[in-house]
């Protein structure tokens, strides 16, 4: 039933959409590994909120997010992943900027930011991991 629905969808799509799908960027080990690293770091790093360890965690997550964004942007026909990495970059940049400022950072803000990064990369992992081989 699912196959019939998919084939129907294929027949409804226009030529450009079909060519885009046919030529789309394939699964990439490095891209997936970077997303997984950021996901894991956010998952484990949340306990550092409110301690001095949080600064290094935030720096590491930010560095890896920039690395992911740069890497994904260099892969041709990778528009959806690039869009996701840009949004993820904006989320982590906000966290980094706040810890770099003189203002006090609340415990709850820190926890929510780490959760946002974990949830976003969790969403990304599912679809990036399912790209065609």
Partner 1 sequence: MSTQSKIDELIGCGNANAVNFAKQAAELKTLVESQAISRAEYEELVSDLKRIKSIAESSDDLAIKSAVHEVLIGLENTALALL
Distance between start and end Cα atoms, the chain: 24
Question: What torsion, rounded to 10 degrees, do the Cα atoms 18, 22, 23, 26 define?
Answer: 130
Residue 62 contacts residue 93 (beta carbons within 8 Å): yes
Query: From the list 41, 69, 81, 114, which residue makes contact with partner 1 (rule: CB under 8 A)?
Result: 81
What whole-number distance in Å separates Cα of residue 98 and Cα of residue 62? 12
Taking the complex as a whole, the smallest distance from the CB of residue 86 to partner 1 amounts, in Å, to 9
**Position among 1, 14, 15, 22 found at the interface with partner 1 (CB under 8 A):** 22
Part in contact with partner 1 (CB under 8 A); list of ranges 30-38, 47-55, 61-69, 113-121: 113-121
Nearest to 105 by CA among 49, 46, 53, 60: 49
CB within 8 Å of 87: residues ≥ 6 apart: 120
Query: Is residue 42 near partner 1 by the rule CB under 8 A?
Result: no
Q: Is 130 in the site for partner 1 (CB under 8 A)?
A: yes
Q: Does 102 bind partner 1 (CB under 8 A)?
A: no
Where does this chain bind partner 1 (CB under 8 A)? 3, 6-7, 9-10, 13, 17-18, 20-22, 24, 80-81, 83-84, 87-88, 90-91, 94, 98, 103-106, 108-109, 112-113, 116, 119-120, 123-124, 126-128, 130-132
């Amino acid at each position: 039933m699912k196959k019939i629905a998919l084939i129907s969808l294929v027949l409804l799509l226009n030529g450009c959409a079909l060519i885009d799908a046919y030529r789309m960027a394939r699964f990439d080990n490095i891209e997936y590994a970077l997303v997984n690293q950021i996901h894991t770091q956010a998952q484990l790093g949340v306990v550092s909120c409110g301690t001095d360890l949080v600064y290094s965690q935030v720096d590491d997550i930010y560095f890896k997010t920039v690395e992911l964004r740069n890497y994904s942007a260099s892969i041709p026909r990778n528009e959806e992943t690039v869009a996701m990495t840009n949004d993820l970059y904006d989320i982590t940049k906000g966290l980094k900027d706040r810890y770099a400022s003189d203002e006090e950072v609340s415990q709850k803000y820190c926890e929510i930011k780490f959760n946002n990064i974990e949830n976003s990369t969790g969403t990304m992992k599912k679809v990036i991991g399912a790209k065609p081989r």
